[in-house]
Amino acid sequence: MEPIRDIAVVAFAQSDHRRTSDELSEVEMLLPVLHEVLDRTGLKAGDIGFTCSGSSDYLAGRAFSFTMALDGVGAWPPISESHVEMDGAWALYEAWTKLLTGDADTALVYSYGKSSPGSVRDVLTRQLDPYYVAPLWPDSVALAALQARALIDAGETDERELASVAARSRADASANSHAQLRGPVPQGDYLVRPLRTGDCPPVGDGAAAVILAAGDRARELCERPAWIRGIDHRIEAHSLGVRDLTDSPSARLAAERAGAFERPVDTAELHAPFTSQEVVLRKALRLGDGVRVNPSGGALAANPVMAAGLVRIGEAAARVHRGESDRALAHATSGPCLQQNLVAVLEGDAR
């Protein structure tokens, strides 16, 4: 579906993603990122028409955790603002709809997550069906391993291919100063068969922010805006037992609705925290060998939960800004084994 208004990502900033950030509160981690993204456009907080963020109380370990982050924005005088308890990619989606209505011409989107204070593998089990599944505490790595096993059994991949995804991602991350794992990383021992430590994302803390602008405002703020040609997201059934884990129909449908299949993309930033999930997504999103996948290193190089999806959109947009891509696909995921997926198609003006 063609959006009724041209809206672009005009700026992106992110923190250095690190294993721990004990010395920083969420708002202290976020503040420099907000300053940086505003500086890139010359906008001040008060110039922004709409602000939207994504974060999780469960990760922060306290109710209403996002209210403190608002201090980093400086919401005074009062601002038009909203929050989703989702990855920041969905906060961007909400901001995009706000700009579509014409009520605002610019939007600030941010998200953050600190996984270091707890055991994120255990925390994520609280996302599961609270009556039948969560009491068993199946953790995120174990569930991803089920998916990887299903893929291998179906002949869709093997451990060698998974290892090559891991190696390529960390090698590409060498050029990304924000990444947590950069350069050669050993595949290591099995964490949960068939996944080895190298197949799994690093656990860490981080934040990201994006500025959206509509029409001429986007052209004023950015030399080469990354126009959102389409954006859509879809969710699947929750129970793993009713899903084909070797496929991602929700990612495919979101891509179709976002117009991703109308013309080939040259770049894709996929939110695939596990190597096996890149295999699933490449197939669902019909990404051929000619597509540059995760030049940033992807979530295998840095996976700040709640921000990693927004980082994908930001990384794809930044490549359009720099002229390194003309048409890029950005993807974000949520839930166990890619239950929910968002796809955005970003384009630069012809050069």
Partner 1 sequence: MSKEPVAVVGVGQTKHVAARRDVSIAGLVREAALRALADAELTWADIDAVVIGKAPDFFEGVMMPELYLADALGATGKPMLRVHTAGSVGGSTALVAANLVAGRVHGTVLTLAYEKQSESNAMWGLSLPIPFQQPLLAGAGGFFAPHVRAYMRRTGAPDTVGSLVAYKDRRNALKNPYAHLHEHDITLEKVQASPMLWDPIRYSETCPSSDGACAMILTDRAGAARSPRPPAWMHGGAMRSEPTLFAGKDFVSPQAGKDCAADVYRQAGIADPRRDIDAVEMYVPFSWYEPMWLENLGFADEGEGWKLTESGVTELEGDLPVNMSGGVLSTNPIGASGMIRFAEAALQVRGQAGEHQVDGARRVLGHAYGGGSQFFSMWLVGAAPPTS
Question: Two tokens at 105?
Answer: 């011409």
Single residue of 22, 23, 78, 241 touching partner 1 by CB under 8 A: 78
The one segment of 41-49, 122-130, 201-209, 275-283 that binds partner 1 by CB under 8 A = 122-130
Q: What is the nearest approach in angstroms of partner 1 to the Cβ of residue 335?
A: 4
Residue type, 96: W
Rounded to whole angstroms, the Cα distance separating 53 from 210 reads: 10
Sign of CA dihedral 235, 95, 265, 209: negative
Between residues 39 and 57, which has the closer beta carbon with respect to partner 1? Answer: 57
Assess 83 for contact with partner 1 (CB under 8 A): yes
Phi-psi region of 196 (alpha: psi -120 to 50; beta: other; left: phi over 0): beta
The reply on whether position 82 binds partner 1 by CB under 8 A is yes
Q: Tell me the window of 88-96, 180-188, 190-198, 287-295 that interacts with partner 1 (CB under 8 A).
A: 88-96
CB of 78 to partner 1, least distance (A): 4
Residue 100 CB neighbours (<10 A): 14
Question: How many residues are there in the chain?
Answer: 351
Q: Which of 22, 23, 63, 289: binder of partner 1 (CB under 8 A)?
A: 63
138 CA to centre of own chain: 23
Q: Does 15 bind partner 1 (CB under 8 A)?
A: no
Q: How far apart are alpha carbons 54 and 66 in whole angstroms?
A: 8
* Sole window of 73-81, 160-168, 190-198, 202-210 interacting with partner 1 (rule: CB under 8 A): 73-81
Binding region for partner 1 (CB under 8 A) out of 66-74, 156-164, 167-175, 282-290: 66-74
Closest to partner 1 by CB, 40 or 238: 238
Token match 């696909």: residue?
Answer: 329
Handedness of CA 200, 339, 56, 110 (dihedral sign): positive
Residues 189-248 that bind partner 1 (CB under 8 A): 232-239
Segment holding 8, helix H or strand E? strand 7-14
- Residue 9, sorted as left (phi over 0), alpha (psi -120 to 50) or beta, turns out to be beta
Nearer to partner 1, 107 or 179 (CB): 107
Task: Tell me how far apart the alpha carbons of residues 299 and 170 are, in angstroms, rounded to a whole number.
Answer: 10
8, 108, 124, 299: residue in contact with partner 1 (rule CB under 8 A): 124
Q: Which two tokens stand for residue 279?
A: 């295999």
Q: Which residues bind partner 1 (CB under 8 A)?
A: 1, 4-5, 25, 51, 56-58, 62-64, 66-68, 70-71, 74-86, 90, 93-94, 97-98, 100-102, 123-124, 126-131, 134, 232-239, 249-250, 253, 334-336, 339-340
